[in-house]
Every structure is written in C-alpha cells, then in structure tokens.
Amino acid sequence: MNIILLGPPGAGKGTQSHRLVAERDMIQLSTGDMLRAARSSGTAMGKRVAAVMDAGNLVTDEIVIGLIDEQLSNPALDGKGFIFDGFPRTLAQADALGALLDSKGLKLHHVIEMRVDDDALVARITGRFTCSNCGAVYHDETKPTKKHNVCDNCGAVEQFTRRKDDNEDSLRTRLLAYYRDTSPLIGYYYAKGLLDRVDGLGSIDAVAGEIDEILTR
C-alpha cells in the first residue's frame, strides 16, 4: 500500500509516518532524509545533490524524482508499502510521481490530508523545544519536562533548544507557502478519488486511529 501524507508544517506527518513504519513495516520516503543520505552516499546522484546544495540552490524536481526512483527500484524493499512524506508539494510534482509509479506498475492507494486550524497549529509549534542531547521533544503547555530544565529521557540539564523558524512570523510564512503551493493537491487527489481527511490536531493516538481506519477499509 502506497500513501501520501499531506499537511502543513507541524501537522504531525513525520510522527505518523514513524508510527506506520513501526506498526505496518512501511517505508517512509522523506525528501529531506533522502537528500541528506544521497549527499553523503558518494553515488553519481549523490554528487549531483551535493553540488546543488553546496551552491545554495534548490534541488530540482528531476533530482527528487530520481531519488524516489532509486528507492522504488531497490529490490530489498520489494513488496513494502511506501509513505511519501514531503513530496509531492506541487501539481507538477504530483504528475511526475504519478508517471513514475505507472512506469513501475505501482499505484497510489490513499492520500491523507491532516487538517489543522492555523491558530492552534501556531500555538503547538511555537511551544516546542528539544533536548539537544537525545532529541526528545517537549512543549511548554502540553508536554513540559517533569523537572524544570531537566530532560525526562536522558537527564541532561539545560540542554534544550528551539528551532529558529519555530516562531509565529516564520511559521505563518511557511503556512502561506504551503497553502499557495501544496493545497491545490487536495483538489487534485480528490478528483482522482484518493483523498481522505483526518483531524491533525487530535492526540497522536487519535490521529493514528483515524489513519488506521482509512488503511484497513
């Protein structure tokens, strides 16, 4: 089963992808992860990626599709379902992905939109902070540390960081970019009969339950 998770920054796509990997043995194809892996791989494609990124340029759709093609062609992954996380972002990318899947005799089964309220999403994201020692994620209101400035997971003291772009102005700019570039995909996949929606602001377990219900129909 191959699926796309759609949603704005902070909607929880990565969290739910990781859960599907653990529970359904699916393969998460995250654009960011693939680019980082390719850059350090030393392959011909990796060298192309490194050259573009080192020059400070955006990686082209052709390169991203090439990376996805490599993953779909990996015999070790044969028979596993794929989660497309962070791709496609535009209608052109959606067409390219559809053509690639068709060329390999594969199909897309579900496109799941994780719907959110912008104001609630801003509150969720701007309150996030992370332990720089172990990577545990916390939130000022919904998941504070049990002891002030001490990581619950590894016990590190005063080792917390916040992403520079996890502020209201930056997040609203990212949301505008999402609605401008990616939201047209909602209509695109609805017309193809592939679109389902879940409440992206529910608890992690509640969202996972909604996704599981869609995938087990």
Catalytic residues: 13, 89, 128, 163, 174
Distance of CA 106 to the CA centre of its chain: 21
CA–CA distance, 110 with 5 (Å, rounded to integer)? 9
Tokens of 193: 């009969």
Partnered with residue 143 across adjacent β-strands are: 139
CA–CA distance, 206 with 202 (Å, rounded to integer)? 6
CA–CA distance, 207 with 14 (Å, rounded to integer)? 12
Q: Among 104, 74, 89, 52, which residue's Cα sits nearest to residue 186?
A: 89
Strand-pair category, 160-161 with 128-131? antiparallel
For the chain, the first-to-last Cα distance in angstroms comes to: 12
Radius of gyration of the chain (CA): 18
Tokens of 142: 């919904």
Partnered with residue 161 across adjacent β-strands are: 130
User: Side chain identity at 207, as an amino acid letter?
Assistant: V
The residue to which tokens 């917390």 are assigned: 160
Query: At residue 84, what are phi and psi to the nearest 5 degrees?
Result: -90, 110
